[in-house]
Amino acid sequence: MITRIEAYRYRCFKTISARMLPFQVLVGPNGAGKTTLLDIPVLLGEMVASRSIEHAFQQQTGTHPRPRTDYARDLIFNQKGETFELAVEAEIPQQIVSSLVEKAVLGKQPRAAEQYRSKPERWPATVRYEIRFELFNEALQIGEENVVLLPKNDSKVPRGTGISVAEWAREHSSTAVPVIVVMERRRGGPVAFIPEMEKKSLPTFEFQPTEPAFANLFSDASMFGASLWLRDLLMNDACPYQPVLENLRRAQPPVRKPVLEKDASSLPWLIQNLKTSNPKAFERWIRMVQLAIPQIRDVETVVREDDKHGYLRVAYTNDRKVPASGLSDGTLSVLATTILPYLPVTPRLIMHEEPEHGIHPKGIEVILESLKAVKTGQVWISSHSPVVLAHCEPKELFCLSLDEEGAAIAIPGDQHPALQKWRSSLDLGTLFAAGVLG
């Protein structure tokens, strides 16, 4: 899972280093950076997939019908300076960690190998991708780009300074912290690819200053297993989930294997697949839906005979059946959100902005519990709802606000000054409504 997002001089962020949890709720006023923060993994994934920073920032993409910006300078905080940096970190899956450990001890003397195996705090635990962008003649290009592996005990590695970890590792090569540089790109120079847990670099390569080197990482898991895993997560498994209700009201074309789409258009087929492949999970989902909308008795997918397109139909307790075209926005939103924890597979990262929109307050708690229950991936949401906040633990919150300079700052909920005094006698919703959280 992604464990950290960093941004320096990017849009509304002057400096942010956010430690991310499996379930995270971003709260704060409009313009405080909630959407910008949620977009960073998606942005990096689209940049790598398209092999172009120009495409990701200044052209229409799969998640942005309009370009993220028309002018490159607008990407820089307060339009001052010439550079900005982004970084993401992710926890390496245990299976890949094990293979890296075995690779590290290969060729070592038995005593040295056993010594390394006995110190898991020195094993690679986190993979980090960091990139610095710069303006040249008002055009955007890449100034620095690195991939590094970090150990579990990485407290000495700088955070929140804007200094790249790869640069820090070069200057502190004698440190006891085993930072492993896998990909290294400096301004105007060639790119070095160093197979994970090895010291010798492959032949260096030159790339256009607008082309991410990460996109060209060798697709060989024996050399770059952790790095490729992160790249795949960013490119294929970071899903900005925002159901488009008009699409849900229309019949959807058949699919061979239904997967969760970012606009929820595959919902009829996901429901049909759940009902046939796992009836017990389907029944549990219906019971969850009924907590939000008690009048619903069943949900089914109707397949048209002529073109095999499918649409939803809801059966109510009074035996009335209503097709998707006649359902309210709130009902469609409840169906599209509550099903997530019952799906056999979801994207590894789901971002959902204001999932409470259009839903009755009694159903918002059900929506929130459904999002918390997703076990096959991370879920990050933004919210303005006091009801959502009232049912969150402080540690699940990121409180965003603007300082005197207009820079967005993010404070973990369990470190927020106002929440230090929080007790059960005063719920988080009251604090938010009073303006304490932005």
**What does the pLDDT read at residue 175?**
60
Is residue 161 very low, low, confident or very high in pLDDT (cuts 50, 70, 90)? confident
Q: Across residues 399-413, what is the average pLDDT? A: 91
226 within 8 A of 124, measured Cβ to Cβ: yes
**What does the pLDDT read at residue 76?**
98
**What does the pLDDT read at residue 153?**
79
Domains in the chain, CATH or no CATH each: 2-238 (no CATH), 242-346+354-392 (3.40.50)
Task: Give the helix/strand (H/E) hosting 387.
Answer: helix 386-390
**What does the pLDDT read at residue 3?**
97
Is residue 387 very low, low, confident or very high in pLDDT (cuts 50, 70, 90)? confident
**What does the pLDDT read at residue 103?**
93
Is the per-residue pLDDT at 426 higher than 60?
no
Cα 61 → chain centroid: 17
Task: Name the residue among 92, 91, 118 with its Cα closest to residue 105.
Answer: 118
86 within 8 A of 245, measured Cβ to Cβ: no
User: pLDDT tens for residues 102-111?
Assistant: 999 988 888 9
**What does the pLDDT read at residue 437?**
56
The CA distance from 25 to 383, in Å, is 7
Q: Across residues 382-403, what is the average pLDDT? A: 88
Is the per-residue pLDDT at 427 higher than 60?
yes
Is residue 430 very low, low, confident or very high in pLDDT (cuts 50, 70, 90)? low
User: pLDDT tens for residues 186-235?
Assistant: 998 999 999 999 988 899 999 999 999 999 999 999 999 999 999 999 99
Is residue 391 very low, low, confident or very high in pLDDT (cuts 50, 70, 90)? confident
User: pLDDT tens for residues 32-82?
Assistant: 999 999 999 999 999 999 999 999 999 999 999 999 999 999 999 999 999
**What does the pLDDT read at residue 158?**
80
Is residue 435 very low, low, confident or very high in pLDDT (cuts 50, 70, 90)? low
Is residue 24 very low, low, confident or very high in pLDDT (cuts 50, 70, 90)? very high
**What does the pLDDT read at residue 417?**
76
Is residue 154 very low, low, confident or very high in pLDDT (cuts 50, 70, 90)? confident
213 within 8 A of 185, measured Cβ to Cβ: yes
The CA distance from 235 to 31, in Å, is 27
User: pLDDT tens for residues 236-277?
Assistant: 999 999 999 999 999 999 998 999 999 999 999 999 999 999
**What does the pLDDT read at residue 436?**
52
Is the per-residue pLDDT at 330 higher than 80?
yes
Percent of the chain residues topping a pLDDT of 70: 95
DSSP 174-218: TSSS--EEEEEE-TTSPEEE--TT--SPPPPB---TTS-GGGGS-
Give ∠ CA 289-301-375 in degrees, rounded to 5.
45
Is residue 431 very low, low, confident or very high in pLDDT (cuts 50, 70, 90)? low
Nearby residues of 374 by Cβ (< 8 Å), 6 or more positions away: 23, 340, 341, 346, 350
Higher pLDDT, 13 or 161: 13
Q: What is the chain's mean pLDDT, rounded?
A: 92
**What does the pLDDT read at residue 107?**
84
Is the per-residue pLDDT at 155 higher than 80?
no
**What does the pLDDT read at residue 212?**
98
Residue the block writes with tokens 């390569």: 205
HSE, CB side, 13 Å, CA atoms: give it for residue 99.
11
Is residue 389 very low, low, confident or very high in pLDDT (cuts 50, 70, 90)? confident
Is the per-residue pLDDT at 173 higher than 80?
no
Side chain identity, residue 6: E
Is residue 438 very low, low, confident or very high in pLDDT (cuts 50, 70, 90)? low
**What does the pLDDT read at residue 362?**
87
Q: Across residues 326-344, what is the average pLDDT? A: 97
